[in-house]
Structure 1
């Protein structure tokens, strides 16, 4: 098994076991995590982001659907399921109280790996689908 596949498989297992220490060990000390909400840099911020996610979705589970790896890159298509039982933040920063709704989202992540650790992790998924499954319908600032 390639080093790239091994570290991304470890990350998925750590997320599914909700082991934040194991999650952080998959990332380099100066790793950068990107998604539509923003960026997290370094172990402390990455840990904080995943703590936020696992608090919002305490039954969070990821399933790898397709994974393609190269020398230093993995592209993973995944499915995420979970029930929103904790606070989330809307794109405008307003709190979203727990809806207790179950969501199923499909997305993709791009992992750049150096020396056996993830140094860049980019996540893509449909945020509007996410909010719609929570029963929320966001309006653009222009529509307000």
Structure 2
């Protein structure tokens, strides 16, 4: 196992498994960038922490189920499902608050992380926003 795989595994376990967003953010470089379908480009530790908190805090029982793990050179890729129950309010990237719905979601996702010197420098997060909203009961079936 290479460094990229090790760091992405630690980030996923720390943020999603242990719900310790602040420790997970320490795995990102100071100039790290996350690209997301909902918030777009997120940079800087404070903004990265805010992005992860809005999601992790809304699903306190959340976990990640891996389907596939890949690694090539300095890049690690995860494909899997985020599974959790929305029991906490969720702040959207636009600043709105979505009250907890009590709905359980099983959302397929893909993460691609580039690692340099033991830190994530670039992280692309992919998931279907429409499917997420449908499972949350916030859009038509």
The higher relative CO (CA closer than 8 Å, separation ≥ 6) is in: 2
Measured in 2, the distance between the counterparts of 1:91 and 1:41 equals 13
Identify the structure with the greater helix proportion: 1
Aligned to 2:48: 46
* Offset of residue 20 of structure 1: 1.9
Shift >4 Å, 4+ stretches: 89-94
**TM-score (norm: length of structure 2):** 0.89
Q: Out of 79, 99, 102, which is 2:101 matched to?
A: 99
The match for 2:67 is 65
Secondary structure of 2:57's aligned partner: helix
- Offset from partner CA, 1:85-136 (integer Å, 9 cap, x none): 2223568764321111110001101111111111010111111111111111
Distance 1:93 1:49 in 2: 11
Deviation of 1:71 (Å):
0.8
Superposed, 1:1-144 pairs within 5 Å as 1-15=1-15, 16-38=17-39, 39-89=41-91, 94-137=96-139
Work out which of the two has the higher radius of gyration on C-alpha atoms and give 1 or 2.
1
**How far apart in 2 are the matches of 1:133 and 1:123?**
19
